[in-house]
Amino acid sequence: MTLSTFFKLAATAALLAAGSAHAATNLVVNGSFEQQQINTAWTPIATVTGWLSNAPGNSAFEIQTDTAHGGYSGFNTHAADGQQYLELNTDRLTTISQNVATAGAGTYTLSFAYSGRPDTANHATSSMNVYWGGTLLTASPLIGNTDNTWQTFTLSGLSGAGALTQLKFESLGPLSSTTYGSYLDNVSVTASVPEPETFAMMLLGMGFIGFVARRKKTA
């Protein structure tokens, strides 16, 4: 390996490192609940692309439009992504799930936006459990804000449970108003990759070893 080849490798490593931050693919189908576009402020719906519910018929899901795009004033002003989001509760507390494709070795990162409904009576708190492969991910239920803001939660280092791993969101409240519930949006699962700096250093290290070995051989 010549010195010029080594520096070309260095430049390639830098470019690959810069691009790796954008290479992750979301494995969740319809994570922002935009595929069923609704033309009203809210719609109870029996099926939502990619997701399963523990409730039957039109009690299965409720899609809401944010206030900025025609939703009610009691809804969140903006969706966390797009203009729609899911309210976990319909006419009861509901649980939704999706079997995420996790074939192959490695770990995964889960991210989602969560909020409580702002107009719940007496600001009763929304709460939710999150499961990955049947394992509860948090020591205590997540509590949703009631001030029209989203919280983004990110959990990394999750192992797949085979070709498919179940992701599940379970609404726990508010028990005082079970038809008012948790807002969920912008759900993603991505395969974890080395940090760009680490990836670049790995490539440069391999290139440098080859460069030194070639020089010794030539000498």
Verify that 139 and 202 share a domain, yes or no. no
- Residue 101 has φ and ψ, to the nearest 5°, of -70, 110
Domain span including residue 171: 24-192
* Amino acid at the residue 92: R
87 — pLDDT class (breaks 50, 70, 90): very high
Q: Considering only 10-19, 47-56, 113-122, 162-171, which range has the smallest mean pLDDT?
A: 10-19
For the stretch 6-50, pLDDT in tens is 445 444 444 444 444 455 899 999 999 999 999 999 999 999 999
Q: What is the rounded CA–CA span in Å between residue 171 and residue 167?
A: 14
Question: Where residue 30 sits, what CATH number does that domain have?
Answer: 2.60.120.260
Verify that 177 and 120 share a domain, yes or no. yes
Verify that 167 and 198 share a domain, yes or no. no
Proportion of the chain above pLDDT 90, given as a percent: 63
Q: How many CB atoms lie within 10 A of CB 158?
A: 20
pTM: 0.79
Into how many domains does the chain fold?
2
Verify that 185 and 216 share a domain, yes or no. no
Verify that 16 and 29 share a domain, yes or no. no
Angle at 72 between CA 68 and CA 73, to 5 degrees: 80
Verify that 114 and 212 share a domain, yes or no. no
